[in-house]
Chains A and B, each alone.
Chain A
Amino acid sequence: AQSVAQPEDQVNVAEGNPLTVKCTYSVSGNPYLFWYVQYPNRGLQFLLKYITGDNLVKGSYGFEAEFNKSQTSFHLKKPSALVSDSALYFCAVRGGGDYKLSFGAGTTVTVRA
C-alpha cells in the first residue's frame, strides 16, 4: 500500500523568508510524486512533479521540490515566500503501475506580511 505523510498541519512564515513544506512517502517501486496547492473555495492546482531524473524539480510560481530517495522525502520549497502563497498544500504519490494517487492530509501555509 502507498501512503504519504505531511508531518506539519500548519507552517507560518514571514514574507520574504524561505518556505518549506515537508512530505514523506511510502510506495512499492519507483515513486511518482506531486505537489498541489488549494486556495480557498477552489479546486486543487498542480504545482510540480517528480518522475525521474534530476532530484531538484522546479514548478509553478517559483516553487521547487527536492526528491530524496534515501529519506523517502519530497519537500516543497520556495526561497522567498509571498503573502499570496498562503494556501493549503497537498503532497501526493503514485507507485509505478498504478494510476491512483494517494494524498497527504495537507499543510496550511500562512505567510504574514
Chain B
Amino acid sequence: DAGITQSPRHKVTETGTPVTLRCHQTENHRYMYWYRQDPGHGLRLIHYSYGVKDTDKGEVSDGYSVSRSKTEDFLLTLESATSSQTSVYFCAISAGLAGTGNEQFFGPGTRLTVL
C-alpha cells in the first residue's frame, strides 16, 4: 500500500468518547487526505493537508478535526464520537502541485465502530 500505514486498523468505541486515527507515510509526499467510505456513497473527503500545519476542510468535515505537525504524519480526531461516524476511514497521499494529474495512493484503512 505505497508506504502508507494506518493505526489502529480496527477500533470499537462508545458514543461520546474521543478517537484519534493516525496515518503515517514514508514517501515524503506533500499532500495527505482523510476519506470515509460508506456503502452507496463511495469515498467522501473529510479533511486534507497541503503541507505541515496546512489543512483544509473537505465535504464531510463536521465532527472531525485534523493535525499535521510532521510531513509523514496526519492525524484525524473525532472529538466526541457518534454512531453516524461508524465507517471505514482511509488515508491517501499524493505528490506534485495542485491541479496536476498526480494519482492518490491509499492506505489499508481503519474500520471504526461507534456503539
Contacts and interface: CB of A to CB of B under 8 A. Distances in A.
Interface of A: 4, 32, 34, 36, 41-46, 49, 51-52, 90, 96-101, 103-106
A98 B103 contact: no
Given A42-B108, A100-B45, A49 B99 contact: no
Contact of B106 (A44, A104, A106): A44
Contacts, number: 57
Q: Tell me if A's interface is mostly helix, strand, loop or mixed.
A: loop
Interface of B: 1, 4, 31, 40-45, 48, 50, 58, 90, 92, 94, 98-109
B90 A105 contact: no
Which one of A98, A99, A103 has the greatest number of beta carbons of chain B within 10 Å? Answer: A99
A12 to B, nearest CB: 19
Contact of A44 (B58, B90, B102): B90
Nearest to A36: B106
A97 B99 contact: yes
A91 B44 CA distance: 13
Contact of A103 (B42, B98, B107): B42
A97 B105 CA distance: 19
A38 to B, nearest CB: 9
B45 A98 contact: no
A49 B103 contact: yes
B104 to A, nearest CB: 6
A99 B108 contact: no
A101 B104 contact: yes
A43 to B, nearest CB: 4
Contacts of B107: 43
A106 B99 contact: no
